[in-house]
Amino acid sequence: MTCEIVPVTFREACAFIAAHHRHHKPPRGMKFCLGAAANGQLVGVATVGRPVSRHYDDGFTLEVNRTCTTGQANVNSMLYGAAWRAAKALGYRRLITYTQAGESGASLRAAGWRVIAERSARPSWADSSVRLRAIRDPEGPGGMQRSLWEVAS
C-alpha cells in the first residue's frame, strides 16, 4: 500500500485524532497540519504548532503536538519527515516533540530526529504553572516520564 502526504484541515485532523489517538485529545490550535493517505483514505495526521513550553517559543521553533495513525507501517515516520520539510519551508529552524516512557521513538529516529533531553515524571502538566491549570488537559501525560526530541537545521 503506497502512502502519500495530503493536505488536511484542522477540523479533519482533530476528528481523526479524536477517533484514533490512544491517549490524547486533539490539540487546541496549530500552525499547520498534514495528513497521509493510502488509496484515497486518510491513515494518519500530524498537527504542528507553537511549542507548549514558553522556553522553546523563540519564533524559530515549532512543536509537533500530535501525530496519529491507523497503524500502517512507516506512516508516522513519513509524517514527521513531512512536518520538518514544511516547517523548514516556512522559515523555521527547529522542530521539537515529546514521547512518553514506553514509546520507542523508532519513527522519530527513522525521520532523522534525536533525543535532546529526558524529562522526569510530574503529577500533571499543570504543575509547571498555576495559571495553566485551567487550560491543560487533566487527563494528559501527568506522572509520565517524557523524552524531548528535535530536528534542526
Range of the domain at 144: 3-152
Q: What CATH number does residue 144 fall under?
A: 3.40.630.30
Nearest to 94 by CA among 118, 119, 61: 61
pLDDT for 124 equals 57
pLDDT higher at 23 or 16:
16
Q: Which grid cell sits at 18?
A: 479524536
pLDDT for 120 equals 84
Cβ burial 51-78 (10 Å sphere, 16+ → b, else e) = bbeeebeeeebbbbbbbbbeeeeebbbb
User: What is the pTM assigned to this prediction?
Assistant: 0.84
Number of structural domains in the chain: 1
pLDDT higher at 129 or 115:
115
CA distance 119 to 122: 9
What's the whole-number mean pLDDT along residues 97-104?
Answer: 88
pLDDT for 24 equals 72
